[in-house]
Each structure stands twice: as C-alpha cells, then as structure tokens.
Structure 1
C-alpha cells in the first residue's frame, strides 16, 4: 500500500471519528432527556401523561423504524437548512444524530426501568423531588447499563457513518466506495474494513472497562 493510500485512509479515519464523536456528543444528552421523559410520563410514573407518552413513543418508534439510507435522503432539505450543505462530514452529522437519538432514548428508558423500585420509593419517602429522584437515584444506579448502551449506540453510529459515504458523507465509507468499489482498488477496501473492525473493538473495550468500573462503585 502506497504512502498516498495510507494518508487517504488516515484522513478518512479522522473524518469518521469526527462524525461519530460529534453525533454522540449531541445524542447522549438529548437521548438521555427523551429516555427520562418516556419513563416519567408513562402510566403510574411521577409525571404521568399518557397522551404525551404515546406521542413521544410514536416519534421515537418512527425514528427507529426508518432505514438509515432512506433517512439520509429524506433529511437532505433539513440538513441543508441546518448546516448549509448536504455533502461532507458536517452534513453527515445531522442524519447521524437524528437516527441515533431515538435508538439511544429507548436504551435509556430500558436502563432506568431496571433500577429497583424500592430505591425510588425510598428516595420519594425521604422527600426527594422528581428531579432529585432522576439525578440522584435513577441515573447513578443505571450508569453502568447506560454506559453499555452508549457503547452499543456508538458502534451503531460508526456503522451508519460508513453508510453515509454512499451519499458523499466522507469518512471511511466514502473512501471504500470511491476507491475500493468504483476504482476496484481491493487493498483500499480491505484497509477500510480493518480500520472499522479495530475501531469497533476499541470502542467496545473502552465501554466494557468503564461499565465494569462503574458497577463496582
């Protein structure tokens, strides 16, 4: 593999990491917020609002059910309005975030439901407000599971980012398509696959380590 190809793969890797990093930086707080609202507005929950819960759940389910490649195309006008372009890594971040927030929100909701009800009831009996229950009990107790969920989500975003290359999103997917597929440069295809596999392994390793450490606190 030539030095030029190595530089190309390196630049594409940095672009991919940028896409995934920014998308997750937006997804985690917003997904956490949506997941908490899904939990708190359900029947029997402190902020019981069945209509709001069903509407929010519908939006989340629709967001999760649309294939990412279709979402990429459907969001072109929105992406252009937000970032002023539909090409490149900055543009790819928009659909990546839109696709990922609903997915992570469901993970958050599921993780928070795993917290023993007794802990929540004890906090409420001690006079804790709904906000304190969330910030002092639910999120801290569910943190190992939330980290594991964020790890799964990050790996999913990495896969989505490669798919974004099909529509000029940049990154490793773009290189694999333009050079590996269209120009029949098999070594480039293999290199991008290897880099993606390594990135997935590193993300999973870091996530597993953090989750285990938090579960011992």
Structure 2
C-alpha cells in the first residue's frame, strides 16, 4: 500500500471517529432524557402523564421507522440550516444524531423498565421524592444496561456513518465507495472492511468491559 493511500485511510478513520463520537454524544444527551420521560410518564410512573407519553412515544417511533438513507436526504434543508452545508462530516452528524437518539431512547427505556418495582416502592415508603427516586434508584440500577445499549448505538452509528459516505459525508464509507468501488481498487475495499471490523470489535469490547465493571460495583 502506498503512503498516499495509507494517509487517506488514516484520514477516513479520523473522520469516522469524529462523526461517530459527536453524534454518539449528542444521541446520549438527547436519548437518555427521552427514555426517562417515556418511563416515568407512563401509566403508574412516578411522573404519570399518559397523554405526554403517547405523543412522545409516537414521535420516537416515527423517527425510528424512517430508513437512514431516506432520513439522510429528507433532513438536508435542516442540515444546511444548522451547519451551512449538506456534505462533509459535520453535515452527516445531523442525520446521524436524529437517527440514533430515538434508537438509543428505546434501548435505554428497556433497561429502565427492568428496574424492580419493589425498589421504587421502598424508596417511596422512606419518603424519597420523585426526583430522588430518579437519581438514586432508576438511573443507578439501570446503568449497566444503559451502557450496553449505548455501545450498541455506537456500533450502529459506525455502520450509518459508512452509509453516509455514499452521499459525500466523508469517512471510511466515502473512501470505500470512491476508491474501492468506483475505481475498482479491491485492496482499498478490503482495508476499509478490516478497519471497520477492528473498530466495531474494539468498541464492543470496551462497552462490555465498562458495563461489567459498573454491574459489579
């Protein structure tokens, strides 16, 4: 492999990490509060508000049902409004976040719902406020599952960022399309696939290790 191609792959890896990292962080900051609202406003929740729960759940489901490649194109006007361009890694972060936030919200919701009801009832009986139950019971007890769910979300984002490369977002996906596919450079395609496998495997291992550490505390 030439030095130029090595530098190109290194740049693509860096762009993929930026897209995944920034959109992943935004997805966490948006998705976790969404999950908490979905759980606590449901029937029997500590902030019961069924109407709010149904409306928010419908919005989350609607966003999750749109295929990413369609969402990528549909939000181009919003992307241009926010970042001033529809191409490049920063433009890709907008649809990546919109796609990943509701996905992570549903994954985190599952973990939050697995918190045993007697723990919540015991906290209530001891006079804990609803916000205290949220901070001291719901989030700590579900944290290992939330970390595992966020890891899955990051892995999904890596695949989505590669797909975004097909429309000029940059990253490893863009390199695979422009050089590996359009210019028939098979070695480039193989290198991109190997890098993605290593990246996903490493991220999954770190996420699983962190979830185990939290669970054993």
| Common fold by TM > 0.5 | yes
- The CA distance in 1 between the partners of 2:189 and 2:79, in whole Å, is 28
Shift of 1:121: 0.9
Query: Aligned equivalents of 2:147 and 2:111: distance in 1?
Result: 10
What does residue range 107-146 of structure 1 map to in structure 2 within 5 Å? 107-146=107-146
Task: Provide the C-alpha distance between the structure 2 equivalents of 1:126 and 1:108, rounded to a whole number of angstroms.
Answer: 27
| Counterpart secondary structure, 1:86 | coil
Structure 2 residue aligned with 1:42? 42
Which string of whole-angstrom CA distances, capped at 9 and with x for unpartnered residues, describes residues 127-167 of structure 1? 21211111111110111111100110000000000000011
Establish whether residue 194 from structure 1 lines up as the match of residue 187 from structure 2: no
Is residue 19 of structure 1 aligned with residue 19 of structure 2? yes
Q: CA RMSD in A?
A: 0.7
Q: TM-score, normalised by structure 1?
A: 0.99
Distance in 2, matches of 1:48 and 1:140, equals 21
SS of equivalent residue, structure 2 residue 60: helix
Mapped partners of 1:126, 1:9: distance in 2: 57
For residues 108 and 125 of structure 1, what CA distance do their matches in structure 2 show?
26
| Corresponding residue number in structure 1 for 2:95 | 95
Deviations 1:32-67 (A, max 9, x none): 000000001111112111111111001100111100
- TM-score of the pair, normalised by structure 2: 0.99
Structure 2 residue aligned with 1:67: 67
Give the SS at the match of 1:51: helix
Unaligned runs of 5+ in 2: none
Unaligned runs of 5+ in 1: none
1:170 counterpart residue number: 170
**Secondary structure of 2:42's partner?**
coil
Secondary structure, in 3 states, of the residue corresponding to 1:115? Answer: coil
| Separation (CA, whole Å) in 2 of partners of 1:194 and 1:116 | 42
User: Which moved further from structure 2: 44-53 or 75-84?
Assistant: 44-53
Residues in 1 aligned to 2:57 and 2:208: alpha-carbon distance in whole angstroms? 29
Number of residue pairs matched by the alignment = 217
